């Protein structure tokens, strides 16, 4: 009986100690949840990106250049003179199909500066928070915990490009690191002078409609407003498809999020292409950004991603 009682008491003490340790761990992180003090700037204001910290010999730790005031540093792969992060959109690779893009960021915590750092972030010139990790966007955490000195691989997730800030909170400090997030719109590739939107083929003007081999249009109806060159693109579809009288093109801006337009175009006869339906179009996107154009006529569907510049 005494032995059984001793075992029960010992188990109870162990549970209490375990619960106390767990509570203490939670308390440590909770203490680092200070209010965010990342500043705001007006859209269009130059991003005050942080500079590299040249006082630390990062190579001696086996890592690349760190940015900001430390002692926890993000190590970017962008421009060497300022904190910047490049990422593709719409997301490709491991993030394909997710509205949140991202890029790998290595973090480095200098030895001798504690072993707990909480990292959070938000956009300076917009509404979005920074998120972290590889999970699908509904489950992405809005904080990252660094629990030891040294280097820590991570992934920063972003909804759009812009100017962002990380806030790093340690036991005795709270600091902000600002970085420029450069979104690269993964518009459809152009093959010579034509671009595909599913079964639809559009014939474009490469001097105006192609940037780095990818599809690009301008805001409004003109390729070149100064010369009056309109943004006409004929869309071809094999005659074997059953179509309606009109082609409807619906545009939705992917990044920055928000914005849409819809246009309809009537089929035109073409004696030079008797085996094709032809829908002449003059697209008028209302805003710059990374857009998805959805095509519909009859039961036929297609889509294409296009970069829209001012």
The 10s digit of each residue's pLDDT in 107-123 is 999 999 988 999 999 99
Tell me what pLDDT residue 15 has.
38
* Burial call 91-115: b when 16+ CB within 10 Å, e when fewer: beeebeebebbbbebbbbbbeebbe
Which of 223, 206, 219, 200 is closest to 291 using CA atoms?
A: 219
Tell me what pLDDT residue 50 has.
98
Q: How far apart are CA 108 and CA 66, in angstroms?
A: 8
State residue 14 phi and psi, 5-degree precision. -60, -40
Question: 3-class DSSP state for residue 161?
Answer: coil
Are both 47-184 and 194-309 of the same fold?
yes
Tell me what pLDDT residue 14 has.
39
Q: How far apart are CA 186 and CA 57, in angstroms?
A: 36
Within 8 A by CB and 6+ apart from 297, the residues are 237, 243, 244, 246, 247, 248, 267, 277, 279
Within 8 A by CB and 6+ apart from 9, the residues are none
Enumerate residue ranges in the chain where pLDDT < 70: 1-26, 271
Determine whether 135 is exposed, middle or buried from the number of CB atoms within 10 Å of its CB (0-12, 13-18, 19+): middle
Domain ranges across the chain: 47-184, 194-309
Within 8 A by CB and 6+ apart from 212, the residues are none
Tell me what pLDDT residue 278 has.
96
Tell me what pLDDT residue 274 has.
86
Domain 194-309: give its CATH code: 2.60.40
Tell me what pLDDT residue 103 has.
95
Query: Looking up tokens 């089929």, which residue turns up?
Result: 267
**Hey, what CATH topology would domain 47-184 get?**
Immunoglobulin-like (2.60.40)
Tell me what pLDDT residue 269 has.
76
């Amino acid at each position: 009986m005494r032995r059984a009682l001793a075992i029960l008491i010992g188990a109870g003490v162990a549970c209490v100690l375990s619960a106390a340790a767990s509570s203490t761990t939670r308390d440590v992180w909770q203490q680092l949840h200070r209010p965010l003090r990342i500043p705001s700037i007006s859209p269009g204001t130059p991003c005050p990106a942080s500079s590299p910290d040249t006082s630390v010999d990062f190579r001696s730790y086996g890592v690349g250049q760190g940015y900001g005031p430390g002692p926890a540093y993000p190590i970017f792969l962008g421009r060497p003179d300022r904190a910047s992060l490049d990422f593709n959109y719409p997301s490709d690779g491991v993030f394909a199909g997710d509205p949140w893009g991202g890029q790998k960021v290595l973090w480095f915590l200098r030895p001798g500066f504690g072993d707990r750092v909480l990292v959070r972030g938000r956009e300076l010139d917009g509404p979005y928070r920074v998120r972290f990790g590889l999970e699908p966007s509904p489950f992405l955490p809005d904080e990252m915990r660094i629990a030891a000195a040294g280097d820590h691989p991570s992934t920063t997730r972003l909804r759009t490009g812009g100017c962002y800030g990380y806030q790093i909170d340690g036991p005795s400090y709270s600091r902000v690191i600002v970085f420029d997030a450069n979104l690269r719109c993964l518009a459809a590739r152009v093959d010579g002078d034509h671009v595909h939107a599913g079964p639809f083929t559009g014939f474009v003007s490469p001097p105006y409609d192609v940037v780095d081999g990818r599809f690009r249009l301008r805001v409004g109806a003109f390729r070149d407003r100064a010369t009056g060159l309109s943004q006409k693109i004929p869309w071809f579809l094999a005659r074997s498809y059953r179509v309606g009288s009109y082609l409807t093109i619906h545009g939705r801006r992917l990044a920055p999020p928000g914005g849409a337009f819809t246009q309809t175009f009537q089929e035109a006869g073409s004696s030079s292409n008797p085996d094709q339906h032809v829908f002449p179009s003059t697209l008028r996107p209302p805003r710059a950004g990374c857009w998805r154009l959805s095509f519909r006529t009859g039961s036929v569907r297609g889509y294409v991603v296009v970069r829209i510049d001012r």
